[in-house]
Amino acid sequence: MSADLYSWGRFPLLPQRGHSVSWRDELPAQLERVVAQHRMTLPYGNGRSYGDSCLASSNEVLQIRSLDRLIEADWSQGEVLVEAGMTLAELLALAIPRGWFLPVTPGTQFATVGGAIANDVHGKNHHRRGTFAHYVASFGLLRHGEAPLQCSLEENAELFAATLGGLGLTGLVSWARLRLMPIKASQIDTTVVRFANLDEFFALSNELDEAHEYSVAWIDCLAKGKDTGRGVFIVGDHARYGSLEVSSRPRLQVPLTPPVSLINNLSLRAFNSLYWRVHPQQRTQRRSAYEPFFYPLDRLLNWNRIYGRKGFQQYQCVIPDADARDGMAELLAAIAAAGQGSFLAVLKRCGDMPSPGLLSFPMAGTSLALDFPQSDALEQQLFPRLDAIVRQAGGRLYPAKDAHMSGSDFRHAYPAWERLEALRDPTLMSRFWKRVIL
């Protein structure tokens, strides 16, 4: 049993007690035990969700992380069967030397396979490959009081769809069969160019996204007026030649949580402005190792601690194509006017490939993600303003990052919630689901 597990944003700060197992066949008895003692629980991967979707209403979670084994692999086809607690980093360490990569990866490699399924995560190539769910062939699902199930498009298809993006509420995923993507080298060939405003961002995206596997932009969310939306546009593709190397860069560590956030207006403004200026005005090609390209923040372990004891919230929304330009301009103006924002806000066009999952977040449109130190003003002033803009534009927020969305906004933006609720294992309940549904 382990104490003090949190969500990544450490807001709300609700320590979770982890009930772990060493072997898959111990899971049914452990689930039975925790439910008998605490009535409700929730699967917990590696706590890389920012808000309260990985927190159990009972604060008693079933920790899946120690189930991290490779069960079976067909390296000629790039198909692997892994336990659900394996992290994406552990999977990449097995796959890269054999010439395979994750077809979809989020911005951290420390998420587990189970967590990636439950949030149906997306990456910098959503416009080409959709979400993680597309590459899940099948998985094992354990529900309280039932025999273990196997779920795929053919078997238990309703539970298959509901579990992909199902926020851990339909059962415990114990293993998953995944399809990988072939690569010739682990390096990424990138093109980097800075842009002066939102119109230039959309022009670059229209010109470059289709031709490249990966596309993302970092923006200076504190720039105002004619500079609103200025940033750095980055596209990339797996190199056609090079080596197949698993990253072994040393990691740094934030050793403790300071009493107050180290992120303030001054440091933010200086960093954002500098970041923009050091990037090239002309398109510049570079070759990058995969880690700094996909997972720049993973270099600094426990970076979430720099926000101090109050923690922080990430705001991630997507706005449909028709209103994306104006909606993003309004959001950025509201954020700059409030003088709050994050070091690196991420702007990304999503594609139109629908997910097989019921409650998947991305939709054809533009997504914005940024972090804010936790404060009362955030909840009372800025977030209501941002939520109104997103609602008006027909967009939605990402549950994996959320700790504030209203129940009515959630139910309106995710109408399939009723089907998920009908298939929910009645012994599984998160803080998030309790907040938005009950």
Ligand X SMILES: Cc1cc2nc3c(=O)[nH]c(=O)nc-3n(C[C@H](O)[C@H](O)[C@H](O)COP(=O)(O)OP(=O)(O)OC[C@H]3O[C@@H](n4cnc5c(N)ncnc54)[C@H](O)[C@@H]3O)c2cc1C
Residue number, 105 or 197, with CB nearest to ligand X: 105
Q: Which of residues 120-149 bind ligand X (CB under 6 A)?
A: 121-123
- For position 63 contacting ligand X by CB under 6 A, the verdict is no
CB of 381 to ligand X, least distance (A): 26
203, 105 in Cβ contact below 8 A? no
CB of 239 to ligand X, least distance (A): 21
CB of 39 to ligand X, least distance (A): 17
Residue number, 121 or 336, with CB nearest to ligand X: 121
Amino acid at 276: W
> Which range of residues in 19-27, 107-115, 199-207, 330-338 is near ligand X by CB under 6 A?
107-115
365, 122 in Cβ contact below 8 A? no
Angle, CA 424 vertex, CA 419 and CA 429 arms, to 5°: 125
- For position 49 contacting ligand X by CB under 6 A, the verdict is yes
Q: Which of residues 222-281 bind ligand X (CB under 6 A)?
A: none
At residue 185, the 3 state secondary structure works out as coil
Helix ranges (H only) for 253-382 are 265-278, 290-294, 321-338, 376-377
CB of 281 to ligand X, least distance (A): 27
How many residues make contact with ligand X (CB under 6 A)?
Answer: 33
> Which range of residues in 39-47, 199-207, 337-345, 373-381 is near ligand X by CB under 6 A?
39-47
Q: Which of residues 288-307 bind ligand X (CB under 6 A)?
A: 297
CB of 85 to ligand X, least distance (A): 7
Residue choice 81, 84, 335, 413 for contact with ligand X (CB under 6 A): 84
160, 177 in Cβ contact below 8 A? no
Helix/strand/coil (H/E/C) assignment for every residue in 62-106:
EECCCCCCEEEEECCCCEEEEECCCEHHHHHHHHHHHCEECCCCC
Strand order in the sheet with 149-152: 70-74, 79-83, 172-179, 136-142, 149-152
- For position 9 contacting ligand X by CB under 6 A, the verdict is no
Which candidate, 85, 87, 84, places its Cα nearest to that of 110? 87
Using CB atoms within 10 A of its CB, is residue 147 exposed (0-12), middle (13-18) or buried (19+)?
Answer: exposed
CB of 2 to ligand X, least distance (A): 13
Would you say how long the chain is, in residues? 438
- For position 311 contacting ligand X by CB under 6 A, the verdict is no
Which candidate, 119, 414, 92, places its Cα nearest to that of 238? 92
Which candidate, 136, 199, 156, 116, places its Cα nearest to that of 366? 199
> Which range of residues in 71-79, 108-116, 207-215, 405-413 is near ligand X by CB under 6 A?
108-116
Site string for ligand X, 373-402 (x = CB under 6 A): ---------------------------x--
Q: Which of residues 168-207 bind ligand X (CB under 6 A)?
A: 168, 172-173
- For position 47 contacting ligand X by CB under 6 A, the verdict is yes
Q: How many CB atoms lie under 10 A from the CB of residue 16?
A: 24
Residue number, 48 or 435, with CB nearest to ligand X: 48
Residue choice 80, 89, 92, 116 for contact with ligand X (CB under 6 A): 116
Residues that bind ligand X (CB under 6 A): 8, 42-49, 53-54, 64, 84, 106-108, 111-112, 114-116, 118-119, 121-123, 167-168, 172-173, 297, 400, 430
